[in-house]
Structure formats: structure tokens, C-alpha cells
Amino acid sequence: MIRSIVRGVGSALPKRIMKNADFEDMVETSDEWIAQRTGIRQRHIADDSETTASLGEAAARAALDNAGLTPADIDLIILATSTPNNTFPATAVEIQHRLGMKHGFAFDMQAVCSGFVYAVTTADLYVRGGLAKRVLVIGSETFSRILDWSDRSTCVLFGDGAGALVLEAAEGEGTVADRGVLATSLRSDGSHKEKLYVDGGPSTTKTVGFLRMEGREVFKHAVGMITDVIEKTFWDAAITAEDLDWFVPHQANKRIIDASAKKLGIAEEKVVITVDRHGNTSAASVPLALAVAVEDGRIKRGDLVLLEAMGGGFTWGAVLLRW
Ligand code: UT7
């Protein structure tokens, strides 16, 4: 059977780093509160010249270099983002143009923090359906542009950045020993909209709006939803937590990650944590974490890797793959 294997990974971060202490003059908060409640110590914030498209392009180029490929080798670009450069056209199409591509096709996916997991699942279907041979899957966000910088309950949590994978069609045996995407599971439930949303949009306020979140409410649902979808993925692939080499979760809050790993029986040393240095970068958080763990030599070819995310909507999902 055809599998979507990972050929390359890359990432890009804005130049400017903002430390927790930098918020102390802006809102009533402290480095200690942010670090203790979330695990975040710093985040990257885009300047005016850095956008979702420019960061996405840089991450895509890094992933192509890592794969030893060029834009000419790519058939499809899927960009996961909730902070597009424009309402339309899709920022994926802008990235396609920036990469000098006149062939193939590109579109955006919007599932907020779960966007990358949704995008990998979709890319895998295009590859296994024979509609694309190589897909650039990008998560790129500039959440700093939709933050209310006077709201301490949200502005300290998010950061900007981008990560990308090149997925490629390859023959597999149809077993869990294959390389590539092995199992995926997506969920959503729109009844939770008011807990995490942006209070503007073209069809309602005709403005972009700002992010609003009832953090405690999101926290209450997060661990249950994450573990539910991961247990289904384990069941579908007939594996257990012990079989995993790496757990690469969405990086929103270290306490949510720790509680989920504990509930699932995933050993602490298998968990990749980047929330301390990136904050919550929404759809970019999982590919950014993957890039870190590949660059530092933790994730190696043949490793069994579990990706997971949960966010606005609510949306949530998991992807199991062998690197
Ligand atoms: O990526 C999408 C998914 N999003 C998430 O997963 C986020 C989920 N939620 C969370 O991570 C946590 O709920 C937060 C980090 C947002 C908040 O942590 P918490 O432990 O749930 O705190 P809380 O909201 O219950 O607030 C505790 C106190 C409150 O004060 P009172 O009411 O106890 O007097 C807040 O007003 O902390 C206060 N507070 C702050 N204090 C200092 C809220 N934000 C801040 C702040 N600095 N930045």
C-alpha cells in the first residue's frame, strides 16, 4: 500500500524574542506566574516585515533543503493557519508563488491549534489517493496580531512561528512497521465556540477581531479530549504507549501536556517540550517541536512518533507516524 513518509522537516521563527519579564511593564503579571502556570519562559514575536506567508515560506524552504528537494518536486501545499495574510486568497497560494511554483495547487486549512494535525491527515489522504506525490504541509501563525495586549489572561500565552514537513508517497507493507503516517483521528465539537474564539470576522463585524479565551474552561476539557483521541489512535494501530518512541504534543501549557502523558502512561523522557521557548504557536507548535527534536538528534529514522493537538472550535486530533 502507499504510505506518506516524512522526507524533510524545517522551521522558522521571528527574530525578536520576548521574555516573560517583558510583560511585567505592560500588564499585571509576573515571570513566576507565567512560568508556573504554563511552563512558558519566552516566545518569538513577528515584526512588521515578518508575516504568516514569509515565516511559512522560510519553514518550507528549510524542509525542502532537509529533504534534498526543490519546489519543482512539490505537487500540493497545505497551510494550517488561523492568522492568514489576507482573508483571501489563501496564504498557501502566496507561499506557492513565493516558492516560484507555477504548477500544482495550494490551500489553507483552519482548525486553529489542531490545524497541523488536520493538515497532515488531509495530505496523507491526497498521497494515498494518488492525487499528489509530494506535499508540503506547513503550520504558520502570527497570533501576536490577534492578541489583545491589555488582556493578561491571553497575551502572555502565545507566540509566532512556522514549521513544515515534506510528505512523500512510498510503498509500504500495510503494517505498523512501515514508515510514514500509520493512523489518524480527528474530532470537532462546535458547541464550545465561546470558550476560545476571535471576536471578529469578515461576515460578522467586518473586522479582524481579537482572541478571547476562558482558559480554565479550555483546560478542563483538554486532557479528556486529547487522551480520548490518542486512545482511539492506539486502538486503530494496535499499539500501546510503551511502543512509542516520541510524543510530540501541541504546546499550549506544560501542565496539560504532563497530565495527558501521565493519563496515557507515556514516560516523561519521551515527551518533546518546546512551550518554554516558543509559547503557544497554534498550528505551528507541533511542526516547530518536531524540527527541534529532529535537529537535536532525538527523533531518528524508524522512530514511532505520536502527534496531538487540541484547540478552538473545539477541534482535536492525533497522528501516529513512523519517522
Ligand atoms: O491552544 C489552545 C488551547 N488552549 C489551552 O490549552 C489553554 C488552556 N488553559 C490554560 O492553559 C490555563 O487555564 C491558563 C494558563 C490560561 C490559566 O491558568 P489557570 O491555572 O487555569 O488560571 P486561572 O485562569 O484559573 O486564573 C487564576 C488566577 C486568576 O485570578 P483569581 O481569579 O484567582 O484572582 C486570574 O485572574 O490567575 C489570574 N491570572 C493571572 N495572574 C497573573 C490570569 N492571567 C494572569 C497572568 N498573570 N498573566
Is pTM beyond 0.95 here?
yes
Q: Could you tell me which of 111, 137, 123, 46 has the C-alpha nearest to residue 283? A: 111
Query: Tell me, what's the pLDDT at 51?
Result: 99
Asked if residue 251 has its Cβ within 6 Å of ligand 1, the reply is: no
Query: Tell me, what's the pLDDT at 4?
Result: 98
| Mean per-residue pLDDT, 225-249 | 98
The pLDDT confidence band at residue 215, using thresholds 50, 70 and 90, is: very high
- Count CA within 13 A, CB hemisphere, residue 178: 21
Catalytic residue selected from 66, 85, 253, 280: 280
Residue 280 annotated to the active site? yes
Query: Tell me, what's the pLDDT at 193?
Result: 98
Same topology between domain 2-171 and domain 180-322? yes
The pLDDT confidence band at residue 176, using thresholds 50, 70 and 90, is: very high
- 180-322 sits in which CATH class? alpha beta
Asked if residue 226 has its Cβ within 6 Å of ligand 1, the reply is: no
- Residues ≥6 apart with Cβ < 8 Å to 262: none
Ligand 1 center to 21 CA (angstroms): 17
Mean pLDDT of the chain: 98
CATH pick for 2-171 out of 3.40.50.10490, 3.40.190.150, 3.40.47.10, 3.90.1150.10: 3.40.47.10
The pLDDT tens digits for 246-298 are 999 999 999 999 999 999 999 999 999 999 999 999 999 999 999 999 999 99
The pLDDT tens digits for 66-105 are 999 999 999 999 999 999 999 999 999 999 999 999 999 9
Residue 20 annotated to the active site? no
Choosing from 43, 153, 254 the residue with most ligand 1 atoms within 8 A of its CB, the one to mutate for a pocket test is: 153
Query: Tell me, what's the pLDDT at 305?
Result: 98
Query: Tell me, what's the pLDDT at 261?
Result: 98
For residue 282, the ligand 1 atom closest to its alpha carbon is 1
Q: Ligand 1: which residue has its CA nearest to atom 25? A: 216
Query: Tell me, what's the pLDDT at 166?
Result: 98
| Mean per-residue pLDDT, 101-123 | 98
Query: Tell me, what's the pLDDT at 99?
Result: 98
Q: What are the structural domain ranges in the chain?
A: 2-171, 180-322
Asked if residue 212 has its Cβ within 6 Å of ligand 1, the reply is: no
CB atoms within 10 A of CB 194: 10
The pLDDT tens digits for 36-76 are 999 999 999 999 999 999 999 999 999 999 999 999 999 99
| Mean per-residue pLDDT, 200-214 | 98
